[in-house]
């Protein structure tokens, strides 16, 4: 018999499924840091694809509310790490934590950098780590058990010690100029609302590096005649999905929608010998409907995902919007609105839903969620 190769179990894809309920009141400027799906958003620092899938009638309600998201931009520029550590660049972007940056490079293969909320994370191989003389922690890379080939170093550039003349900061600058001095392609996103206009006019510090600006525009696809499994969302009906096979079957159906597969369409003529997939039936039958897939491709941050989720949720499920209270001195507060969901949806509306999925850079991580009008949330987090 052939001695077939069996991969290391540690390399298997892992999927974590959770079922939670959103709070009835959400402050968009101060969302929970310990509850899903918000922890899922923040755990994935950068994504290259975001898919929103929802019924056509729900899309008609939310499409006008998503116009602000079509104005999001990001930039790509060639930078050295030493360029980022210059005082003017640090003061303009890094120390206030208003930008998110990601360098080119494959995880666990190349030297790779990212900056999120002022924290610089560097991943490098062992020889580079030893030459740089920095202090870091080993990274599990699937290699030999007692041999560390990859290392990760972190610096919080917002700290008072990260200034010119300080020993730790000068050591980082020396490593950037003498060891990690390669020019890399960086993706750059700024939380400044006027960034798009100012960078095009050359008024940004980034402008000296000749950035190319991209608009994060959605691609809308209408899918007609889609077979949709019926789910019991009343009471604790979704607990039937706690079985591993059932939870993975629903996730697979969402993935087929993201792929635009014809196997989820009613009366598809794909030969069963080529694809044996069938839409799952969770004990309540299936129905045929019209769905819409909205896809964003580019440099996507957790803040963008959170804003989109809240906008679709309150516009699609008709949450009550409450304006911010005025400050104590009588000045108006922030114009953003709190959202209150009373949880008393009509039975006809309880089954309303939408789904979101993202893919992280590097192809290692992804997540999907399914949100229902009665505040119940299903989340799948995939690690490979």
193, 215, 237 — which closes off a domain? 215
Structural domain includes residue 353: yes
- 319 in the same domain as 193: no
215, 240, 255 — which closes off a domain? 215
- 203 in the same domain as 223: no
Containing domain of residue 87, as a range?
Answer: 73-215
Structural domain includes residue 5: no
Q: What are 140-187's pLDDT values in tens digits?
A: 766 555 556 889 999 999 999 999 999 999 999 999 999 999 999 999
Structural domain includes residue 28: yes
What average pLDDT score do residues 225-253 get? 87
- 200 in the same domain as 96: yes
Structural domain includes residue 6: no
Number of domains in the chain: 2
What average pLDDT score do residues 7-27 get? 81
pLDDT of residue 212 exceeding 60, the answer is yes
- 155 in the same domain as 26: no
- Cβ atoms of residues 354 and 61 within 8 Å: no
- 372 in the same domain as 244: yes
User: What confidence score (pLDDT) does residue 384 get?
Assistant: 80
The fraction of the chain above a pLDDT of 70, given in percent, is 84
User: What confidence score (pLDDT) does residue 29 get?
Assistant: 84
Least confident range of 124-128, 269-273, 367-371, 377-381: 269-273
User: What confidence score (pLDDT) does residue 362 get?
Assistant: 87
Structural domain includes residue 8: no
- 316 in the same domain as 202: no
- 312 in the same domain as 277: yes
How far CA 307 is from CA of 233, 314, 378, in Å, comes to 25, 11, 18
- 144 in the same domain as 269: no
Structural domain includes residue 222: yes
- 247 in the same domain as 184: no
Least confident range of 55-59, 286-290, 302-306, 326-330: 326-330
pLDDT of residue 327 exceeding 50, the answer is no
Least confident range of 183-197, 222-236, 334-348: 334-348
200, 215, 230 — which closes off a domain? 215
Tell me the torsion sign for CA atoms 90, 92, 96, 98.
negative
Q: What are 21-54's pLDDT values in tens digits?
A: 998 888 888 888 889 999 999 999 999 999 999 9
Question: Using CA atoms, how far apart are residues 15 and 12, in angstroms rounded to an integer?
Answer: 10
Structural domain includes residue 179: yes
Q: What are 328-358's pLDDT values in tens digits?
A: 444 434 445 565 655 444 555 667 899 999 9
Q: What are 73-92's pLDDT values in tens digits?
A: 999 999 999 999 999 999 99
Question: Using CA atoms, how far apart are residues 79 and 248, in angstroms rounded to an integer?
Answer: 42
| 118 preceded by a cis bond (ω within 30 of 0) | no
Lookup: tokens for 32: 């929970």
Structural domain includes residue 143: yes
Question: Using CA atoms, how far apart are residues 264 and 288, in angstroms rounded to an integer?
Answer: 10
- 82 in the same domain as 63: no
Residue 345 exposure: Cα atoms within 13 Å on the Cβ side: 24
The fraction of the chain above a pLDDT of 90, given in percent, is 61
- 230 in the same domain as 116: no
User: What confidence score (pLDDT) does residue 334 get?
Assistant: 41
- 249 in the same domain as 209: no
How far CA 64 is from CA of 53, 54, 61, 67, 277, in Å, comes to 16, 15, 7, 6, 35
Q: Is 85 left (phi over 0), alpha (psi -120 to 50) or beta?
A: alpha
């Amino acid at each position: 018999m052939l001695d077939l190769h069996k991969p290391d179990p540690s390399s298997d894809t892992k999927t974590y499924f959770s079922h939670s309920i959103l709070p009835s009141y959400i402050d968009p400027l101060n969302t929970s840091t310990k509850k899903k799906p918000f922890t899922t958003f923040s755990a994935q620092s950068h994504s290259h694809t975001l898919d929103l899938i929802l019924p056509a009638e729900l899309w008609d309600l939310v499409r006008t509310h998503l116009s602000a998201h079509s104005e999001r931009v990001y930039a790509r520029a060639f930078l050295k790490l030493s360029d980022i550590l210059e005082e003017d660049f640090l003061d303009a972007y890094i120390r206030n934590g208003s930008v998110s940056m990601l360098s080119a490079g494959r995880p666990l293969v190349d030297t790779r950098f990212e900056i999120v909320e002022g924290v610089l994370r560097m991943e490098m191989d062992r020889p580079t780590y030893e030459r740089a003389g920095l202090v870091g922690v080993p990274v599990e890379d699937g290699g030999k058990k007692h041999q560390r080939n990859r290392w990760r170093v972190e610096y919080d550039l917002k700290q008072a010690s990260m200034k010119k003349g300080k020993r730790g900061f000068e050591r980082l600058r020396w490593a950037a100029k003498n060891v990690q001095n390669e020019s890399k392609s960086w993706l750059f996103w700024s939380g400044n609302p006027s960034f798009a206009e100012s960078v095009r006019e050359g008024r940004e510090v980034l402008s000296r590096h000749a950035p190319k600006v991209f608009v994060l525009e959605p691609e809308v696809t209408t899918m007609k005649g889609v077979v949709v499994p019926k789910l019991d969302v009343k009471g604790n009906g979704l607990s039937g999905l706690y079985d591993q096979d059932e939870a993975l079957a629903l996730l697979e159906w969402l993935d087929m929608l993201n792929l635009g597969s014809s196997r989820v369409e009613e009366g598809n003529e794909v030969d069963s010998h080529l694809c044996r997939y069938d839409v799952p039936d969770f004990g309540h039958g299936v129905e045929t409907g019209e769905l819409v897939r909205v896809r964003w491709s580019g440099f996507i941050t957790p803040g963008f995902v959170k804003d989109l989720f809240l906008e679709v949720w309150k516009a699609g499920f008709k949450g009550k919007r409450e304006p911010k209270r005025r400050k104590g001195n009588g000045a108006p507060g922030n114009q953003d609105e709190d959202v209150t969901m009373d949880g008393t949806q009509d039975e006809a509306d309880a089954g309303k839903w939408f789904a979101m999925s993202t893919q992280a850079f590097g192809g290692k991580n992804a997540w999907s969620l399914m949100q229902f009008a009665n505040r119940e949330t299903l989340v799948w987090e995939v690690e490979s």
